[in-house]
Structure formats: structure tokens, C-alpha cells
Amino acid sequence: MMLFTLLTFSTGSFLGSLSNGVWQQLPEIEPVSLLQLWGWFGVFAQLLLLAGLAFWLWSRHRGSLLAWEGFWSLAMGGIVLALLNALTVVLAGRPWGVTWGFTLWAAKIAALLGWDPATSGLWQQERFASALQASVFADGTSVMNFGIVLGAAAAAAWAGKLSIRRPPSPRAVQAALIGGLLMGYGAWLAFGCNVGAYFSGIASTSLHGWLWIAFALLGTAVGVRLRPWFSLAN
């Protein structure tokens, strides 16, 4: 199911890049950084909010947070993710993100199938044109994405949960394809998915990370109600 979603996620983000100019014409506001807006008080206020959320989750789900799946527990995984994101900032000079890599892969496949990058204003820009011509192994985000997929597979195997399962129904496959397309397109518009826009956004004290999760939760509520339409249980 996730392979179907990954396929259309890449497609959706690529389609988002092709319509980039249309969205850039809409009104916009300047970026808001809590660090720049309130100084270190903004950082501490965000940390206090996160600590409150952590305490609430710990009090309600302590057992599941500490449950070990192979080598990892959810709490340990969260700590390691935070540390690795900090290491990414040090080594790459930017927070962790994944959407760009999948967009680039889809663009390369589209070019092989006959798509002309000259028809897109965005892909004519030097940064994007150079990435399209270079190897995917020359792109830092792509290399990290390869590592994420391999690492996730290794962790699942370690936990004894690595398997390829038959989709529960054709309608479930449709849900995976539609969901991936919407997520990919939305991720391009939001300058990232739950990794680049939400996780790294909040870690960077950017207000857009909090806006992202607020609307992601609203979208999730709608998606949960739509699941029975695709023969998926809640």
C-alpha cells in the first residue's frame, strides 16, 4: 500500500512544481520566526508548549511510548530523530526534508518519458535545471531519502515486521493512490511534508510548522471519515 502511495506522492509533488507559478501569484505574508519575533522568549515558549504536550501524551500513552519494537520504542525513536535532525542542520546547513527528493525523482522519470523541462518556468531555473541534469546521488535530499527507506526497512526487519502484504481490496489501492497524490501536491505547496514543513519547521521556530499541523489534523479528521468509502476500517 505504501509503495502505491509513494508513487503518487512523487507524482503529486511534481505536478505541484509545474503549477508553482499559479500559486505564487496569490497574496502572501512575510515568514514569521518566533526566535526573531520574540527572541529567546519565543524559543522557551515553544519548548514549554512542547513539554506540556509531551507530558500529556506521557500520562495517557506511557505504555505504548515505552513499548519496544525490536530495538526501538516510540520515545527512543523520537529522541534519535531530534538528534539526527540537529546533525542534519550541522552537516547540510538546513533542517531535514524529504519532499524535494521525491519531486526530483518524478521529474527525472517524466523527462525520460518525453517531458520538456523548458515548458516549466520553475524547472528552467538554474538550481532546478542543474539538479535535473545531475545524478540523484549528487542531491543531498535524494541520498537521505534512500537512507530513510533502507533504514526503515532495516528497523522493520529488526522488529520482525518487514513483509509485503496484499492490499485489502481494490478500493483500498484507490485510496492509497488518491491519498498519495493529494499529499504530494500539498507537500509541494506547503514547502514540505510532515518532515520538512512540520517537524523541521517547528524545530526552526517557524510559525508555519504550527499552522501545518493544525490543518493537517483537520484534514486527517476528514480522511478518517472517508476511509469507509474505500472499505478501510477505522
Percent of the chain with pLDDT over 90: 59
Mean pLDDT of 225-229: 92
Residue ranges of domains in the chain: 2-22+34-161+179-230
Quick one: pLDDT at residue 215? 94
Give the pLDDT of residue 70: 67
Within 10 angstroms of residue 174's Cβ, the number of other Cβ atoms is 15
* pTM, 2 dp: 0.86
**Would you say 197 and 209 are in contact if contact means Cβ atoms under 8 Å apart?**
yes
- The pLDDT of residue 10 is 96
Tens-place pLDDT, residues 99-135: 999 999 999 999 999 999 999 999 999 999 999 999 9
Q: How far apart are CA 201 and CA 232, in angstroms?
A: 32
pLDDT digits (tens, 9 = 90+) for 37-82: 899 998 999 999 999 998 998 888 887 877 776 667 888 888 888 8
Which range (28-32, 65-69, 101-105, 186-190) has the least confidence? 65-69
Can you give the pLDDT at residue 65? 79
